[in-house]
Structure 1
Amino acid sequence: MAQQNEEGTALLSSQKSTRDSRGSMISASFNFINSIIGSGIIGLPYALNQAGLPFGLLLLVAVGFITDYSIILLIRGGILSGTNSYQSLVQSTFGLPGFLVLSALQFLYPFIAMISYNITFGDTLTKVFQRIPGVGPNHLLAERHFVIILITVVFTLPLSLYRNIEKLGKVSLLSMVLTVTILIIVIIRAATLGPQIPPTEDAWVFAKWNAIQAVGVMSFAFICHHNSFLIYGSLERPTLANWTQVTHISVGSALIISAVFAVAGYATFTGYTQGDIFENYCRDDNLATFGRFCFGLSIITTFPLECFVTREVISNVICSRNLSKLEHVGLTVLIVAVCTSISLGYDCLGVVLELNGALSATPLIFIIPSACFLKLSSGRWFQGENLIPTMLIIMGLFVMITGLTMTGLYRQDCLHGVEMFYCTDANVSSTVQPV
Structure 2
Amino acid sequence: MEMENLGDGEESHMLNGSVSESLNTDRLTLEEGYEPEGAIQEQEGFLHHVSSQKTHFTDFEGKTSFGMSVFNLSNAIMGSGILGLAYAMSNTGIILFVFLLMSIALLSAYSIHLLLKCSGVVGIRAYEQLGQRAFGYGGKILTAIIITVHNVGAMSSYLYIIKYELPLVIQTFIGLSETTQAWYLNGNILIVIVSVLIILPLALMKHLGYLGYTSGFSLSCMVFFLCAVIYKKTIIPCPLSNTTSTEHTVYTNGYNTTNDACTAKLFTANSQTAYAIPIVAFAFVCHPEVLPIYTELRRATKKRMQNVANVSILAMFIMYLMTAVFGYLTFYDNVETEMLHTYNKVDPLDTVILCVRLAVLVAVTLTVPVVLFPIRRAIQQLLCPGQDFRWWRHILIAVCLLVVVNLLVIFIPNIKDIFGVIGATSAPSLIFILPSIFYLRIVPTEKEPLLSRPKIQAALFASMGFVFMIMCLSFIIVDWVTTGKSNVGGH
State TM-score, norm by structure 1: 0.77
Determine whether 1:78 maps to 2:140: no
Whole-angstrom CA distance in 1 between matches of 2:123 and 2:393: 33
Q: Which has the higher helix share?
A: 1
Whole-angstrom CA distance in 2 between matches of 1:346 and 1:273: 28
For structure 1, which segment, 141-150 or 290-299, has the greater mean C-alpha deviation from structure 2 after superposition? 141-150
Determine whether 1:219 maps to 2:284: no
Task: Give ranges in structure 1 of 5+ residues lacking alignment.
Answer: 1-22, 416-435
Give the partner amino acid of 2:320: S
Paired residue secondary structure (1:137): coil
The 3 A distance-change label for structure 1 pair 31 and 344 is closer
Whole-angstrom CA distance in 1 between matches of 2:338 and 2:394: 33
Matched-pair contact (CA < 8 Å) for 1:275–1:349: no
Whole-angstrom CA distance in 2 between matches of 1:172 and 1:69: 24
Give the partner amino acid of 2:340: F
Match of 1:364 in 2: 430
Whole-angstrom CA distance in 2 between matches of 1:249 and 1:123: 33
Determine whether 1:121 maps to 2:192: no
Taking the TM superposition and a 5 Å limit, the aligned residue runs for 1:3-152 are: 28-49=69-90, 51-139=92-180, 140=182, 141-152=184-195
Give the partner amino acid of 2:278: G
Whole-angstrom CA distance in 2 between matches of 1:240 and 1:308: 21
For structure 1, which segment, 280-289 or 185-194, has the greater mean C-alpha deviation from structure 2 after superposition? 185-194
Match of 2:225 in 1: 182
Deviation at 1:273, TM superposition (A): 3.6
**Cα deviation per residue 1:300-355 (whole Å; 9 max; x = unaligned)?**
22222323332332343235457976666554444323322332356689867854
Paired residue secondary structure (1:130): helix
For structure 1, which segment, 307-316 or 258-267, has the greater mean C-alpha deviation from structure 2 after superposition? 307-316
Determine whether 1:279 maps to 2:341: yes
Match of 1:338 in 2: 404
Deviation at 1:30, TM superposition (A): 4.8
Match of 1:400 in 2: 469
The 3 A distance-change label for structure 1 pair 322 and 214 is farther
For structure 1, which segment, 332-341 or 141-150, has the greater mean C-alpha deviation from structure 2 after superposition? 141-150
Match of 1:384 in 2: 453
Whole-angstrom CA distance in 1 between matches of 2:418 and 2:329: 23
Deviation at 1:231, TM superposition (A): 4.3
Matched-pair contact (CA < 8 Å) for 2:171–2:177: yes
Deviation at 1:44, TM superposition (A): 2.5
**Cα deviation per residue 1:141-194 (whole Å; 9 max; x = unaligned)?**
445444434434543345445555455443122112111111111222233226
Give the partner amino acid of 1:409: V
Give the partner amino acid of 1:218: V
For structure 1, which segment, 366-375 or 353-362, has the greater mean C-alpha deviation from structure 2 after superposition? 353-362
Whole-angstrom CA distance in 2 between matches of 1:292 and 1:390: 42
Whole-angstrom CA distance in 1 between matches of 2:477 and 2:117: 36
The 3 A distance-change label for structure 1 pair 251 and 364 is same
The 3 A distance-change label for structure 1 pair 270 and 96 is farther
Percent sequence identity over aligned pairs: 26
**Cα deviation per residue 1:91-149 (whole Å; 9 max; x = unaligned)?**
21221111111101110121001110111113322221122334221223445444434
Determine whether 1:260 maps to 2:260: no
**Cα deviation per residue 1:270-305 (whole Å; 9 max; x = unaligned)?**
444444322222221111110011111112222223
Matched-pair contact (CA < 8 Å) for 1:51–1:209: no
The 3 A distance-change label for structure 1 pair 57 and 308 is same
Taking the TM superposition and a 5 Å limit, the aligned residue runs for 1:210-359 are: 210-232=272-294, 238-282=300-344, 283-320=348-385, 331-344=397-410, 354-355=420-421, 357-359=423-425
The 3 A distance-change label for structure 1 pair 118 and 28 is closer
The 3 A distance-change label for structure 1 pair 130 and 365 is same
Whole-angstrom CA distance in 2 between matches of 1:327 and 1:28: 25
Rg larger in structure: 2
Whole-angstrom CA distance in 2 between matches of 1:269 and 1:414: 24
Whole-angstrom CA distance in 2 between matches of 1:278 and 1:388: 40
For structure 1, which segment, 103-112 or 162-171, has the greater mean C-alpha deviation from structure 2 after superposition? 162-171
Matched-pair contact (CA < 8 Å) for 1:54–1:207: no
Deviation at 1:69, TM superposition (A): 0.8
Paired residue secondary structure (1:281): helix
Paired residue secondary structure (1:83): coil
The CA RMSD over aligned residues, in Å, is 3.5
Matched-pair contact (CA < 8 Å) for 1:315–1:322: no
Paired residue secondary structure (1:136): coil
Matched-pair contact (CA < 8 Å) for 1:214–1:354: no
The 3 A distance-change label for structure 1 pair 149 and 248 is closer
Give the partner amino acid of 1:183: L
Give the partner amino acid of 1:337: V
Whole-angstrom CA distance in 2 between matches of 1:50 and 1:341: 35
Whole-angstrom CA distance in 2 between matches of 1:267 and 1:348: 32
For structure 1, which segment, 79-88 or 293-302, has the greater mean C-alpha deviation from structure 2 after superposition? 79-88
State TM-score, norm by structure 2: 0.69
Give the length in aligned residue pairs: 393
For structure 1, which segment, 120-129 or 264-273, has the greater mean C-alpha deviation from structure 2 after superposition? 264-273
**Cα deviation per residue 1:10-48 (whole Å; 9 max; x = unaligned)?**
xxxxxxxxxxxxx96556545443442344423323443
Deviation at 1:64, TM superposition (A): 0.4
**Cα deviation per residue 1:42-68 (whole Å; 9 max; x = unaligned)?**
332344356554433322211101001
Matched-pair contact (CA < 8 Å) for 1:43–1:350: no
Match of 1:422 in 2: none
Match of 1:429 in 2: none
